[in-house]
Amino acid sequence: MKPGRITGALGRILLGFGALVLLFAAYQLWGTNIFEARSQAHLRQQFDAELHHRRLPPTQPSPSSSTTTEAGGTATSVPGATASPVVAPPEGRPLGIIEIPKIGVDKVIVQGTGTGDLQEGPGHYVSTALPGQLGNVAIAGHRTTYGAPFYNLDVLVPGDLIVLTTTWGTFSYAVTASEVVAPTDLSPLAPTTQATLTLTTCTPRFSASQRLVVVAALRSNPVPGGPKPSPPRTSLAGAELRDLDAADWVPALLWGLAVAVVASAVWLLGRRRQGRNRWLAYGAGAVFVLVVLFFFFSAVSPLLPASY
């Protein structure tokens, strides 16, 4: 083969690889939002069902009521919620709703901060207190991918409101401080003697080199109970790898094979056409390639760290 042909073939391979990387970056920034939106809709259905299950009959008065606080806020019980003990849900299940009016956040909180958990929404560190309890309630969330729930977390200032709604009550927190720490600094997760809320996310945007931490204080009297002991973490959530086995790679490999087959078919089809028909074939085929690529990226993404 002539050197010119070798150089041309190598150039096309590099261009194709570069295009693939750019498309994957686009998927991470925008395509992951589709996955997160679907997960959020499912989680909200689960949470609404659990909330409905815990409601009392209409004729029976609610055992709890709004409590006036020292700071002038209230801890409002969910209408019709029971007074059953506060129990953390299993990992991967909805814990409640987090609302941050100033930055337009209204998301379902997932129990757990593993890679898969954070891809579905903000995740609750299982070793910390539950919403409304005395102690430190810690929640992590993505900054730029998977719905980017904490994209504008840096604009929060002291006094801004954060509301957590659970099946045992609705609790208002007021921001008190924020800071940037290293991912290995576990002090934001340390137990506290006051009822506090800690939000963590990667910073700066599009990087997992540091963590932005926002701290808020409960504006009402805390509910009884506290977190159960849990093995200590080695770092704050984000850019974490999970244990993978061979089965985890199967979907990615199958969709990768599908991409290769579809792309090859489109190329061969285009080669058999002439002039304008060739480009029409390539254009129509590109649509099918992009669809298969979307599913390929969806299969590859869970294999990567939580990222940012």
Domain range summary for the chain, segments of one domain joined by +: 38-218, 241-308
Give residue 227's pLDDT. Answer: 55
Q: What is the pLDDT of residue 306?
A: 58
Report, as residue numbers or ranges, the catalytic residues: 142, 202
CA distance readout (Å), 154 to 59, 143, 149, 211, 233: 46, 10, 12, 11, 24
pLDDT of residue 302: 72
pLDDT of residue 249: 85
Sheet strands (E) in the chain: 67-68, 74-76, 94-100, 105-111, 123-124, 135-140, 161-166, 169-181, 195-203, 210-218
What six digits make up the tokens of 271? 């080669």
d(C-alpha 97, C-alpha 119), whole Å:
16
The reply to whether the predicted model has a pTM over 0.95 is no
Give the pLDDT of residue 38.
95
pLDDT at site 86: 81
Positions of the chain with pLDDT under 70: 1, 55-85, 226-234, 239-246, 305-307
C-alpha to C-alpha distance for 233 and 76, rounded to whole angstroms: 32
d(CA 202, CA 282): 40
CATH of the domain spanning 38-218 = 2.40.260.10
Q: Which helix (H) or strand (E) holds 181?
A: strand 169-181
Instruction: Scan for tokens 């604009």, then name that residue.
Output: 155
